[in-house]
Structure 1
């Protein structure tokens, strides 16, 4: 059980509904003005009730001032990696370095195939994502000599020109749950972005999942602390707590701090489509959680390094 030492970030996971058309944009503006760090949107290109996520990300970046934007997570099977790399670099340049690349291998294969995508097995999806990340990073690597050559089984580029370089080192955040995807995250990712609701065993699953990432990172010659651990969360603000992320703002802050100090979770992204909830999360939960984490670490300016912590307790007592 490890605290990887990253400064915590707090964000929102907004439904990209297109009715009413401006709702997700307005909610992102609320999050930006409230002081949250990150606005994210799921990516289901086959869903006609949703905006195209890339178009939405671009529009939101233009309408906000400081908040980071990201897909949560972008659907690789319907987004060509070389084009995605250039699109990401352009959006990062236009937004002043406010784009991060959340990406996944795909999941709803009937819908993906109906849109012209290629159906893959889980193992094939991992390999395809690995090849795509090589291409994406290669396009961004403008200081590397020569044109880009990647001869993968699922994705190929043959002499592609590199560039443009993004405004900052864009993080590649991978949505992963199974061991093969977790190992890919450890050797090739900058961040890990699962959803708490998909963890069958609850937060305790994070320990074993982190181990897959850490072991893979070390085998690849990387420091496991190079991979930021994030979590999509949901819950309710109530007078009396009934479980994880249920209760008062202080309860929520204690739950977040426990996850950070026990499992190294340093990004908390709240699924919310309500302005009041977003503002409460930003104004009360985020600052209180940051204070609790900093107090436990013993400093307000913690270097990004691993720290061992006691077992997770407070946030799971009522589950």
Structure 2
């Protein structure tokens, strides 16, 4: 574990509450120069708009920022159709789409929406199969066939082909799921709410072990981090991890990049969203970029 040397990126975790000015916040993130907008996917949440519809609208009203589900509720999103949706949005947006996948959570709510309740082992097997199905559907090939326990393709034709490769990021935390992410995913997408700094060494070690066992270089796996907290007034006191002034955030994110190999930070802020976004983009991001660049040069 340490600095993997990957280029840094920064994003915004947009909660899709139906009553919020969602497109205005997305435009602000784009205008502020952030790289990514992630939207959580909870179709059963009555207060939320649909994630894929929102991602499409965001792509339509922005010009540069990339969008992704953070992360898809796979039990409610059939992977072949999900792959088609992602490829279509990528084509229409000029390649500004990535794909975050989750094995499933909140099983009672999933069942209420017609999805299947899965055991942890079934959910992991379905996630593994979904990766295969999605990549086949992005291949541009005809007569696609796959026979799994949870998903199948029976002579399907793929298309459209994404104009640039779409990265698959797994939001997982269990030992076997981390091994799967290391072996097959383009990135790992945990959140600071459960992947705390105390847990990161163990989680990252399992991720890297999975990559090595699959013959991959661990540096080829992007390490994203949804950072939940509040950026307070400059010069103020700290109230704990990711809860303090911009200089504290710069310290902590720099340490996460250089000490833990995390390369992409997605802000999931508490409080006034516009104020938090501006502080992050204007006071935290440039400082982290500068500090990491200096350390790497030295």
| Contact 2:231–2:279 (CA under 8 A) maintained in structure 1 | no
| Contact 2:223–2:264 (CA under 8 A) maintained in structure 1 | yes
The equivalences for 1:75-86 within 5 A come to 75-86=73-84
Q: What TM-score, normalized by structure 1, do the two folds share?
A: 0.89
In the alignment, which residue of structure 1 is the partner of 2:220?
A: 226
In the alignment, which residue of structure 2 is the partner of 1:275?
A: 274
1:260 paired with 2:248, answer no
Unmatched 5+ stretches in structure 1:
300-319
Query: For structure 1, which segment, 235-244 or 270-279, has the greater mean C-alpha deviation from structure 2 after superposition?
Result: 235-244
**What is the Cα deviation at residue 160 of structure 1?**
0.9
Query: What is the CA–CA distance in structure 2 between the aligned matches of 1:80 and 1:25, rounded to whole Å?
Result: 27
In the alignment, which residue of structure 1 is the partner of 2:7?
A: 7
1:184 paired with 2:180, answer yes
Query: What is the CA–CA distance in structure 2 between the aligned matches of 1:169 and 1:17, rounded to whole Å?
Result: 30
Query: What is the CA–CA distance in structure 2 between the aligned matches of 1:266 and 1:124, rounded to whole Å?
Result: 31
The equivalences for 1:19-98 within 5 A come to 19-20=19-20, 23-98=21-96
Aligned residues: 293
Question: In structure 2, the residue corresponding to 1:99 is in which secondary structure?
Answer: coil
Query: What is the CA–CA distance in structure 1 between the aligned matches of 2:241 and 2:6, rounded to whole Å?
Result: 22
In the alignment, which residue of structure 1 is the partner of 2:190?
A: 194
Query: What is the CA–CA distance in structure 2 between the aligned matches of 1:56 and 1:236, rounded to whole Å?
Result: 25
Query: What is the CA–CA distance in structure 1 between the aligned matches of 2:155 and 2:217, rounded to whole Å?
Result: 32
Q: What TM-score, normalized by structure 2, do the two folds share?
A: 0.95
Unmatched 5+ stretches in structure 2:
none
Query: What is the CA–CA distance in structure 1 between the aligned matches of 2:23 and 2:159, rounded to whole Å?
Result: 29
Query: What is the CA–CA distance in structure 2 between the aligned matches of 1:235 and 1:118, rounded to whole Å?
Result: 33
The equivalences for 1:107-256 within 5 A come to 107-142=105-140, 146-199=142-195, 202-238=196-232, 239-256=236-253
**What is the Cα deviation at residue 159 of structure 1?**
1.1
Runs of at least 4 residues off by over 4 Å: none
If asked which structure has higher relative contact order (CA below 8 Å, sep 6+), I would say 1
Question: In structure 2, the residue corresponding to 1:58 is in which secondary structure?
Answer: helix
Question: In structure 2, the residue corresponding to 1:150 is in which secondary structure?
Answer: strand
Query: What is the CA–CA distance in structure 2 between the aligned matches of 1:254 and 1:58, rounded to whole Å?
Result: 35
Query: What is the CA–CA distance in structure 2 between the aligned matches of 1:267 and 1:253, rounded to whole Å?
Result: 14
**What is the Cα deviation at residue 2 of structure 1?**
1.6
**What is the Cα deviation at residue 247 of structure 1?**
2.3
Query: What is the CA–CA distance in structure 2 between the aligned matches of 1:187 and 1:25, rounded to whole Å?
Result: 36
**What is the Cα deviation at residue 198 of structure 1?**
1.2
